[in-house]
Structure 1
Amino acid sequence: MLTDILSPAARKVAYAIFGFVGLGLFATQAGFVAAEAGQPVALTVALAVYAFLAGALGFPTARSNVPPADDVSR
């Protein structure tokens, strides 16, 4: 898992970079939509790959930060 490879500080930086890359990709897409211009194929591919990687990165991260159901305080 990523927790075994990177320290918490390094993971924080990696998540921030990943987030800013996503922000840039989606802002670029919004610009093409607003200009009513055709979206480049490279941007379509980049968005698809980003979405795939976000799921691959996000689900294990969420799972490792959510307590088991029997440990949840009410």
Structure 2
Amino acid sequence: MRARIEIDPNVRVRGNQTYSTLDDVTGPITVGDHVEVYESESGLTGPAQVTAIEGDFVYLAVPWAELSEP
């Protein structure tokens, strides 16, 4: 199962990455994993890669141009 992580596309950190909390993660993750990210209000979805897990935060590299609506 590929993990899914809810994000806020307006939040950018660490050179155009984003982050979420572990509460926003569905499924197991480790650093380096390729996951699916989504934004529940707009329905945007797309790929991302987990770059770090620090405490309760998950940092993600998102190819922003690849996010799409359903």
Q: Same fold (TM over 0.5)?
A: no
- Which structure is higher in RCO with an 8 Å CA cutoff and minimum separation 6? 2
Question: Of Structure 1 and Structure 2, which has the larger fraction of its residues in helix?
Answer: 1
TM range, smaller chain = under 0.3
